């Protein structure tokens, strides 16, 4: 399973009461992924970036398990 080696905020802007984040994650296997978040303004950026990164890793783990179970 991959791990995140860098996580950075590419974009952070406010529209009304909503903050829009764009995060970029580099994994130890060389893959680069991005995730967007639309959250209430005032949401802690670091906490949200970590949360989204953990969600991404969970999604990848589920996909990897499904692939193994399917015999691919």
Note down the domain range covering 18: 4-70
Q: Contact at 8 Å (CB) between 19 and 46?
A: no
DSSP-derived secondary structure letter, 43: -
Kindly tell me the burial class for residue 25, based on how many C-beta atoms sit within 10 Å of its own C-beta (0-12, 13-18, 19 or more). Answer: buried
In the chain, the number of structural domains is: 1
This prediction has a pTM of 0.88
CA–CA dist 62, 52 (Å, integer)? 15
Q: What is the pLDDT of residues 36-71, one digit of tens each?
A: 999 999 999 999 999 999 999 999 999 989 988 998
Q: Contact at 8 Å (CB) between 56 and 37?
A: no
Q: What is the pLDDT of residues 14-30, one digit of tens each?
A: 999 999 999 999 999 99
Q: Contact at 8 Å (CB) between 48 and 39?
A: yes
């Amino acid at each position: 399973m991959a791990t995140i080696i860098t996580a950075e905020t590419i974009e952070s802007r406010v529209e009304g009461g909503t903050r829009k984040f764009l995060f970029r994650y580099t994994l130890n296997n060389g893959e680069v992924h991005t995730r967007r978040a639309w959250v209430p303004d005032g949401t802690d950026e670091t906490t949200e970036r970590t949360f989204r990164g953990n969600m991404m890793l969970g999604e990848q783990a589920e996909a990897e398990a499904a692939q193994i179970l399917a015999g691919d």
